[in-house]
Chains A and B, each alone.
Chain A
Amino acid sequence: MESLSNKKKQLVIKPPNFWERAYLPAIVHGLSITMSHFFKKPVTIQYPDEKREFSENYRGLHSLKRDENGAERCTACGLCALSCPAEAITMIAAERQKGEEHLYREEKYAAVYEINMLRCIFCGLCEEACPKEAIYLDGDIVQSDYLRKDFIYGKDKLVEPPLNQ
């Protein structure tokens, strides 16, 4: 049958000649490409030792902030948990006792504050919902791990280290 476009070409596979059968020129050509890359700037980085710069609005691991006196800002109002589309945040509130004013900013604080990093989608809605400017997604990439239970981050991992330490 005649083709419609009449552009059909019949390919003829010729047997390789002597130089081609020796493969040497091809090997030299391939190696020269490889060698030329030794002198170029590498496109990859050595990840854990070296880190790429994040963009300014990058959303990474959450951190619970402290105020200028070092007291925890979070008051366990639950708005982050309410806004969370993945339902990753849970908390238990407790009342601040007398003498704990330097630890917690408001009269109520989060005794337990947990984020399930396997559920979290890093959308940043918790950050937006927070009325006390207590939570920010300004951290690093969440570390990989082996066990599911280790992905539930509690206050020990989330709260900022105290000032002057």
Chain B
Amino acid sequence: MKVTIDGFPIEVEAGTTILNAARMIGGDIVPPAMCYYSKLEGTGGKCRTCLVQVSKGSEKDPRPMPKLVASCRTTVMDGMEVKNITSPEVIEARKGVVEMLLINHPLDCPVCDQAGECHLQDLGYEHGAAKTRYEFDRRTFEKIDIGDKIQLHMTRCILCYRCVFVADQITDHRIHGILNRGDHSEISTYIQKAVDNDFSGNVIDVCPVGALTDKTFRFKNRVWFTKPVEAHRDCETEKCGGKVTLWYKGEDVIRVTARKDEYGEAEEFICNTCRFDKKRTSDWVIEGPRKVSHKSVINSNHYDTLHPLPVVKTNPVLIEANKEQFERETRL
């Protein structure tokens, strides 16, 4: 099937969604997605950030679709023509969606651990308005501990349901879901029951915002002060690939996450042993520094090589002189 997205033609199989077809082309024309996650079945269709305009339905029926459609849920038709960033209507609608997502989302990026790798932050920066028009109180929740390693702060949740699909599909029994309906919906483990499963930590990785965070990393450091390094190990847990990103601060591993691709999706899900318990360099085989996009704040002050050229570190005379100067108690 031939589909044209923003003027770029591509041949795809029947049943491919517009979003996936756009990802095959790549570049700026890929619609952003907050709820769709290619590794999880049934995700998508909730956040509406991936709206696109279909200007020609198909070869047989060339009428345009009457409304903007969610590209993660709409499959392509032969001869379909899609407009994403070339359509002012889509840009305008997306701006509205971002404003909608930010109605209840607190603007506390300086506090939030996700800042710097948050998809909603990027989206708000690209499309959002600088000011909110919302005059009412945002909804707030108490923080909930899901197990001893994961913290849920529902205040930040945008109800993308990704974590629910993780609990449903990756872990073996689901005790994590949505309670209530409409604008009262909230993610919860039923009566705060701990999710006790080898793969429960993946809910942290799939969360596009800072609602689900790693308690072992909570407020330890900002992501842009840490150094991401790709590493792997032979994990005994079934289904765990053991391919991770280690986030170093100095010589210490302060966080372990799954490796994420350019769309922020984990390449392979990792088990809780890898994520929470293996925080020594000796546990891992280091592959090299992670390539970070130059647009990302994480890229600031980072070297492309694992061992950058030493300045003071290898000169014993300088090390000694520095130490002496700093420990001096009496004036010269």
Residues on A with beta carbons closer than 8 Å to the beta carbon of B221: 78, 93
CB under 8 Å from chain A, chain B span 171-213: none
Q: What's the nearest-Cβ distance from chain B to residue A38, in Å?
A: 39
Q: Chain B: interface residue count, which band?
A: 20 to 34
Tell me which of A75, A94, A148 contacts B110 (CB under 8 A).
A75
B111 near A107: Cβ-Cβ < 8 Å: yes
Residues on A with beta carbons closer than 8 Å to the beta carbon of B224: 78, 82
B111 near A75: Cβ-Cβ < 8 Å: yes
B332 near A146: Cβ-Cβ < 8 Å: yes
Q: What's the nearest-Cβ distance from chain A to residue B122, in Å?
A: 17
CA A77 – CA B222 in complex, angstroms?
7
Tell me which of A77, A81, A146, A148 contacts B111 (CB under 8 A).
A77
Q: What's the nearest-Cβ distance from chain B to residue A132, in Å?
A: 6
B125 at interface, CB cutoff 8 A: no
Q: What's the nearest-Cβ distance from chain A to residue B226, in Å?
A: 11
Q: What's the nearest-Cβ distance from chain A to residue B65, in Å?
A: 41
Q: Chain A: interface residue count, which band?
A: 10 to 19
Known: A93-B219, A147-B329. A106 touches B225 (CB 8 A): no
A131 near B110: Cβ-Cβ < 8 Å: yes
A9 at interface, CB cutoff 8 A: no
B297 near A82: Cβ-Cβ < 8 Å: yes
A120 at interface, CB cutoff 8 A: no
Interface hub of B109, B219, B224 (most chain A Cβ within 10 A): B219
Residues on A with beta carbons closer than 8 Å to the beta carbon of B313: none
A93: nearest chain-B partner, CB-CB? B219
Q: What's the nearest-Cβ distance from chain B to residue A121, in Å?
A: 17
Q: What's the nearest-Cβ distance from chain B to residue A143, in Å?
A: 14
Residues on B with beta carbons closer than 8 Å to the beta carbon of A8: none
Residues on A with beta carbons closer than 8 Å to the beta carbon of B297: 82
Residues on B with beta carbons closer than 8 Å to the beta carbon of A82: 222, 224-225, 297, 300
Q: What's the nearest-Cβ distance from chain B to residue A114, in Å?
A: 13
Q: What's the nearest-Cβ distance from chain B to residue A96, in Å?
A: 10
Known: A82-B224, A82-B297, A95-B218. A106 touches B326 (CB 8 A): no
The 4 A-B residue pairs with the shortest CB-CB distance, nearest first, are A77-B110, A146-B331, A78-B222, A93-B219
Could you show 10 A-B contacts with beta carbons less than 8 Å apart?
A75-B110, A77-B111, A78-B224, A82-B222, A93-B220, A94-B219, A106-B110, A108-B111, A147-B330, A147-B331
